[in-house]
A = this chain, B = another copy of it.
Amino acid sequence: MKDMIKKIDFIMELDKLKAILRKSKPVGLDRYENSAEHSWHVSLLVMTFSEDAPSKLDVLKVLKMILLHDIVEIDAGDAFLFDEKAREAAMEKERDAAKRIFGLLPAHLEKTFTNIWMEFEEGQTKEAQFAKAMDAAIPVLQNINNNGQSWIENGITLDQVLNNKRKVIEKEHPLLWEYIKEKLTKATYWSK
């Protein structure tokens, strides 16, 4: 029973991720999306696109990475991709957050979840690299269908988007990258 109470404490803590807002709005909705619904959306992208990965993946591990990857934002907040200062400042906060939040769990699960989260953060394995590509692709697809909403609101340029996203997406899904590049270079919403 003691271990189960710890698991329930962890699960209830997670409700807080539903209050962490990102810079993107879901297409058709006039509100910012939160990191919990975003994590669900990326999971579906993984389920739909993992068959195209450059090498055979442990899809269960990729899904677990995606489902866990934003939980640290409960303490650290969401750092916008293009805000380098905020992202650097977030790193230490995120490590502390992982310690506190995964630390709610029984020891064996704390270890498992922390390892999956760290593997994602380090981005060295094929699963982590594919997961990062899918995580990076979702807001791009939303912006393509939303007149560049989060980029325009935050003064992000076409070059910034292409440089930042290419690194993560191109190798993992060349065809998706080709599609994205074409859409973005043809878009007319960029400020000069």
Binding site for B on A (CB under 8 A): 1, 4-5, 7-8, 10-12, 14-19, 26-29, 33-34, 36-37, 39-41, 43-45, 47-49, 51-52, 59-60, 63-64, 67-68, 105, 109, 113, 138, 141-142, 145, 175-176, 179
Contact = CB atoms under 8 A, between A and B. Distances in A.
B8 A141 contact: yes
Contacts of A64: 47
Contacts of A1: 175, 179
Nearest to A183: B8
A43 B43 contact: yes
A28 B37 contact: no
Given A1-B179, A39-B40, A67-B43, A48 B15 contact: no
Nearest to A109: B48
B37 A18 contact: yes
A81 B10 CA distance: 25
B44 A14 contact: yes
Contacts of A33: 18
A179 B19 contact: no
Contact of A4 (B5, B63, B145, B176): B176
B15 A27 contact: yes
Contacts of A43: 40, 43, 63, 67
Query: Most chain-B CB neighbours within 10 Å: which of A14, A17, A68, A109?
Result: A14
A179 B8 contact: yes
B34 A145 contact: no
Given A1-B179, A63-B60, A12 B27 contact: yes
Contacts of A60: 59-60, 63
